[in-house]
Structure 1
Amino acid sequence: MTRVYQGSCLCAAVSYELLTAPKAVSHCHCSQCRKGHGAAFASYASVPRSALRILSGSTSITGYCSSASVLREFCMQCGSTLFWSRSEGQFREWVSIALGTLDTPFTPPKQQHLYVASAVHWYTPLQTCPREPIDGQTVNQPE
Protein backbone atom coordinates (compact mmCIF):
# COMPACT_ATOMS: atom_id res chain seq x y z
CA MET A 1 0.00 0.00 0.00
CA THR A 2 1.34 3.42 -0.97
CA ARG A 3 1.66 5.91 1.87
CA VAL A 4 -0.04 9.28 1.41
CA TYR A 5 1.78 12.30 2.82
CA GLN A 6 -0.20 15.32 4.00
CA GLY A 7 0.83 18.92 4.45
CA SER A 8 -0.49 22.41 5.02
CA CYS A 9 0.52 26.03 5.37
CA LEU A 10 0.95 27.80 8.73
CA CYS A 11 -2.67 29.03 8.92
CA ALA A 12 -4.07 25.75 7.48
CA ALA A 13 -5.94 27.60 4.72
CA VAL A 14 -4.10 25.40 2.21
CA SER A 15 -3.82 21.66 2.67
CA TYR A 16 -2.46 19.10 0.26
CA GLU A 17 -1.50 15.48 -0.08
CA LEU A 18 1.27 13.70 -1.92
CA LEU A 19 0.35 10.39 -3.50
CA THR A 20 3.97 9.24 -3.57
CA ALA A 21 6.97 9.60 -1.30
CA PRO A 22 8.92 12.82 -1.89
CA LYS A 23 12.21 12.40 -3.77
CA ALA A 24 15.39 14.43 -4.35
CA VAL A 25 15.53 16.00 -0.89
CA SER A 26 17.66 19.12 -1.14
CA HIS A 27 18.66 21.98 1.11
CA CYS A 28 19.22 24.90 -1.25
CA HIS A 29 21.49 27.80 -0.30
CA CYS A 30 20.85 29.95 -3.41
CA SER A 31 19.83 33.56 -2.77
CA GLN A 32 16.33 33.08 -4.20
CA CYS A 33 15.56 30.18 -1.86
CA ARG A 34 17.08 32.00 1.13
CA LYS A 35 15.03 35.13 0.47
CA GLY A 36 11.86 33.16 -0.32
CA HIS A 37 12.10 31.35 3.02
CA GLY A 38 13.71 34.08 5.09
CA ALA A 39 16.21 31.48 6.28
CA ALA A 40 19.77 30.24 5.77
CA PHE A 41 18.49 27.71 3.23
CA ALA A 42 15.30 26.14 1.92
CA SER A 43 14.49 22.43 2.22
CA TYR A 44 12.54 20.89 -0.63
CA ALA A 45 11.64 17.50 -2.05
CA SER A 46 10.02 16.75 -5.38
CA VAL A 47 7.10 14.70 -6.65
CA PRO A 48 5.55 14.35 -10.10
CA ARG A 49 2.89 17.05 -10.59
CA SER A 50 0.28 14.31 -10.90
CA ALA A 51 1.12 13.16 -7.33
CA LEU A 52 0.27 16.53 -5.72
CA ARG A 53 -3.39 16.99 -4.81
CA ILE A 54 -4.63 20.25 -3.27
CA LEU A 55 -7.27 19.29 -0.70
CA SER A 56 -8.35 22.76 0.39
CA GLY A 57 -7.51 26.38 -0.17
CA SER A 58 -6.59 26.34 -3.84
CA THR A 59 -7.90 29.91 -4.08
CA SER A 60 -5.48 30.92 -1.30
CA ILE A 61 -2.45 29.86 -3.35
CA THR A 62 -0.71 32.63 -5.23
CA GLY A 63 2.57 32.67 -7.05
CA TYR A 64 5.56 34.64 -8.14
CA CYS A 65 7.77 33.99 -11.18
CA SER A 66 11.25 34.29 -9.71
CA SER A 67 12.81 33.70 -13.13
CA ALA A 68 11.61 33.07 -16.68
CA SER A 69 10.54 29.46 -16.09
CA VAL A 70 10.31 29.16 -12.27
CA LEU A 71 7.06 29.68 -10.35
CA ARG A 72 7.20 29.91 -6.55
CA GLU A 73 3.83 29.41 -4.84
CA PHE A 74 2.77 30.42 -1.36
CA CYS A 75 -0.33 30.94 0.80
CA MET A 76 -1.75 34.44 0.34
CA GLN A 77 -3.22 34.31 3.88
CA CYS A 78 -0.13 33.50 5.98
CA GLY A 79 2.72 33.75 3.47
CA SER A 80 3.97 30.18 3.90
CA THR A 81 6.13 29.03 1.01
CA LEU A 82 4.51 25.89 -0.39
CA PHE A 83 5.86 24.82 -3.79
CA TRP A 84 8.08 25.75 -6.68
CA SER A 85 8.12 24.35 -10.19
CA ARG A 86 9.56 24.85 -13.65
CA SER A 87 7.48 25.45 -16.77
CA GLU A 88 10.30 24.35 -19.08
CA GLY A 89 13.11 21.83 -19.21
CA GLN A 90 13.79 18.36 -17.92
CA PHE A 91 11.83 18.70 -14.66
CA ARG A 92 8.73 20.57 -15.87
CA GLU A 93 6.51 17.61 -14.89
CA TRP A 94 7.71 17.79 -11.27
CA VAL A 95 6.86 20.10 -8.37
CA SER A 96 9.07 20.76 -5.35
CA ILE A 97 7.39 20.81 -1.94
CA ALA A 98 8.65 22.97 0.93
CA LEU A 99 9.44 20.24 3.45
CA GLY A 100 8.57 22.42 6.42
CA THR A 101 4.93 22.25 5.32
CA LEU A 102 4.71 18.44 5.54
CA ASP A 103 2.53 17.27 8.43
CA THR A 104 3.18 13.56 7.90
CA PRO A 105 6.51 12.42 9.37
CA PHE A 106 9.04 11.84 6.62
CA THR A 107 12.60 10.55 6.84
CA PRO A 108 14.38 10.84 3.50
CA PRO A 109 16.76 8.03 2.52
CA LYS A 110 19.34 10.61 1.42
CA GLN A 111 19.75 14.37 1.27
CA GLN A 112 22.02 16.94 -0.32
CA HIS A 113 22.99 20.59 0.06
CA LEU A 114 22.89 22.69 -3.13
CA TYR A 115 24.56 25.99 -4.05
CA VAL A 116 26.80 25.90 -0.99
CA ALA A 117 29.05 28.49 -2.67
CA SER A 118 26.13 30.92 -2.12
CA ALA A 119 25.61 29.98 1.54
CA VAL A 120 25.43 32.75 4.11
CA HIS A 121 28.63 33.22 6.09
CA TRP A 122 26.93 32.80 9.47
CA TYR A 123 25.75 29.22 8.81
CA THR A 124 27.96 26.15 8.41
CA PRO A 125 26.17 23.21 6.72
CA LEU A 126 26.07 20.01 8.69
CA GLN A 127 28.39 17.29 7.46
CA THR A 128 25.68 14.60 7.69
CA CYS A 129 24.59 14.80 4.06
CA PRO A 130 26.29 15.42 0.72
CA ARG A 131 26.99 18.98 -0.32
CA GLU A 132 26.86 19.96 -3.95
CA PRO A 133 28.60 23.12 -5.18
CA ILE A 134 27.17 25.18 -8.01
CA ASP A 135 29.16 23.24 -10.64
CA GLY A 136 27.17 20.07 -9.88
CA GLN A 137 29.96 17.90 -8.44
CA THR A 138 29.18 16.43 -5.04
CA VAL A 139 31.78 16.97 -2.32
CA ASN A 140 32.15 16.02 1.34
CA GLN A 141 30.25 12.73 1.14
CA PRO A 142 29.46 11.28 4.58
CA GLU A 143 31.43 8.16 5.51
Structure 2
Amino acid sequence: MERHRFEWTRRSAPPCDIRGRVILGGALPVDGRMPLAAYLDWVAVAAGSEGAVYLPHRRETARQRDAVARIPGVEVRVTGLPLEITLAGAADVDVLTLSSSAQTTLPLVLGERAAIRSAADGRAGEPA
Protein backbone atom coordinates (compact mmCIF):
# COMPACT_ATOMS: atom_id res chain seq x y z
CA MET A 1 0.00 0.00 0.00
CA GLU A 2 1.40 3.38 -1.01
CA ARG A 3 0.76 6.43 1.20
CA HIS A 4 -0.01 9.85 -0.14
CA ARG A 5 2.80 12.31 0.68
CA PHE A 6 1.03 15.59 -0.21
CA GLU A 7 3.87 16.66 -2.50
CA TRP A 8 1.70 19.12 -4.46
CA THR A 9 0.46 20.71 -1.24
CA ARG A 10 4.03 21.32 -0.05
CA ARG A 11 5.25 22.48 -3.47
CA SER A 12 2.44 24.98 -3.98
CA ALA A 13 2.28 26.26 -0.40
CA PRO A 14 2.76 29.97 0.11
CA PRO A 15 5.37 31.00 2.68
CA CYS A 16 4.06 30.71 6.22
CA ASP A 17 5.14 33.10 8.97
CA ILE A 18 4.01 30.78 11.77
CA ARG A 19 6.94 29.50 13.84
CA GLY A 20 7.34 27.86 17.21
CA ARG A 21 4.44 26.43 19.14
CA VAL A 22 1.12 25.93 17.33
CA ILE A 23 -2.02 24.74 19.08
CA LEU A 24 -4.71 23.16 16.94
CA GLY A 25 -8.16 24.13 18.11
CA GLY A 26 -10.69 21.47 18.83
CA ALA A 27 -14.44 21.00 18.85
CA LEU A 28 -14.56 18.92 22.03
CA PRO A 29 -16.34 21.66 24.02
CA VAL A 30 -18.75 22.28 21.12
CA ASP A 31 -19.55 18.57 21.01
CA GLY A 32 -20.05 18.39 24.79
CA ARG A 33 -17.11 16.00 25.17
CA MET A 34 -15.00 18.37 27.32
CA PRO A 35 -16.01 21.27 29.55
CA LEU A 36 -14.91 24.62 28.13
CA ALA A 37 -13.04 25.47 31.36
CA ALA A 38 -10.97 22.27 31.11
CA TYR A 39 -10.30 22.97 27.43
CA LEU A 40 -9.09 26.49 28.21
CA ASP A 41 -6.84 25.08 30.95
CA TRP A 42 -5.34 22.67 28.39
CA VAL A 43 -4.72 25.50 25.92
CA ALA A 44 -3.00 27.59 28.63
CA VAL A 45 -0.78 24.66 29.63
CA ALA A 46 -0.03 23.82 25.99
CA ALA A 47 0.94 27.45 25.25
CA GLY A 48 3.35 27.42 28.19
CA SER A 49 5.58 30.36 28.93
CA GLU A 50 6.67 30.62 25.26
CA GLY A 51 3.17 31.40 24.01
CA ALA A 52 1.61 29.95 20.89
CA VAL A 53 -0.33 30.55 17.72
CA TYR A 54 -3.79 29.00 18.02
CA LEU A 55 -5.55 27.79 14.87
CA PRO A 56 -9.26 27.38 15.67
CA HIS A 57 -11.23 24.35 14.61
CA ARG A 58 -13.78 25.11 11.89
CA ARG A 59 -16.67 24.28 14.25
CA GLU A 60 -15.51 26.35 17.23
CA THR A 61 -17.94 28.93 18.47
CA ALA A 62 -17.09 32.63 18.71
CA ARG A 63 -17.44 32.27 22.49
CA GLN A 64 -14.75 29.57 22.56
CA ARG A 65 -12.41 31.54 20.25
CA ASP A 66 -12.85 34.70 22.33
CA ALA A 67 -12.10 32.79 25.54
CA VAL A 68 -8.94 31.33 23.99
CA ALA A 69 -7.88 34.79 22.78
CA ARG A 70 -7.94 36.02 26.41
CA ILE A 71 -5.29 33.48 27.45
CA PRO A 72 -1.97 35.35 27.89
CA GLY A 73 0.56 34.54 25.17
CA VAL A 74 -1.97 32.95 22.81
CA GLU A 75 -2.49 34.50 19.38
CA VAL A 76 -5.66 33.28 17.67
CA ARG A 77 -5.39 33.17 13.87
CA VAL A 78 -8.47 32.53 11.81
CA THR A 79 -7.31 31.74 8.27
CA GLY A 80 -10.43 30.26 6.71
CA LEU A 81 -8.29 27.48 5.24
CA PRO A 82 -7.76 23.87 6.29
CA LEU A 83 -4.84 23.73 8.70
CA GLU A 84 -2.90 21.46 6.35
CA ILE A 85 -2.93 24.27 3.77
CA THR A 86 -2.25 26.96 6.39
CA LEU A 87 0.79 25.11 7.74
CA ALA A 88 2.08 23.54 4.50
CA GLY A 89 4.71 26.26 4.09
CA ALA A 90 5.69 26.33 7.77
CA ALA A 91 9.01 25.21 9.15
CA ASP A 92 10.19 24.67 12.70
CA VAL A 93 6.77 24.33 14.28
CA ASP A 94 5.83 22.32 17.35
CA VAL A 95 2.18 21.39 16.87
CA LEU A 96 0.10 20.42 19.90
CA THR A 97 -3.37 18.94 19.63
CA LEU A 98 -6.01 16.96 21.41
CA SER A 99 -7.39 13.95 19.55
CA SER A 100 -7.65 15.00 15.90
CA SER A 101 -7.53 13.68 12.35
CA ALA A 102 -4.69 16.18 11.86
CA GLN A 103 -2.46 13.71 13.70
CA THR A 104 -2.65 11.62 10.51
CA THR A 105 -2.49 14.30 7.82
CA LEU A 106 -0.07 16.91 9.23
CA PRO A 107 2.95 14.59 9.53
CA LEU A 108 2.48 13.75 5.84
CA VAL A 109 2.26 17.42 4.83
CA LEU A 110 5.02 18.76 7.09
CA GLY A 111 7.41 15.84 7.17
CA GLU A 112 10.52 16.53 9.21
CA ARG A 113 9.79 20.26 9.47
CA ALA A 114 7.51 19.84 12.47
CA ALA A 115 6.76 17.85 15.57
CA ILE A 116 3.13 16.89 16.03
CA ARG A 117 2.26 15.94 19.60
CA SER A 118 -1.08 14.84 20.98
CA ALA A 119 -2.48 14.85 24.50
CA ALA A 120 -4.16 11.59 23.56
CA ASP A 121 -0.81 9.82 23.44
CA GLY A 122 0.53 11.63 26.51
CA ARG A 123 3.06 13.85 24.77
CA ALA A 124 1.25 17.20 24.73
CA GLY A 125 0.14 17.51 28.34
CA GLU A 126 -3.26 17.14 29.89
CA PRO A 127 -5.64 19.76 31.21
CA ALA A 128 -4.72 20.97 34.69
Q: Which has the higher helix share?
A: 2
Is TM-score (shorter-chain normalized) higher than 0.5?
no
Greater C-alpha Rg: 1
TM-score, normalised via structure 1 length: 0.31
Task: Considering Cα pairs closer than 8 Å and 6+ residues apart, tell me whether 1 or 2 has the greater RCO.
Answer: 2
Q: Which has the higher strand share?
A: 1
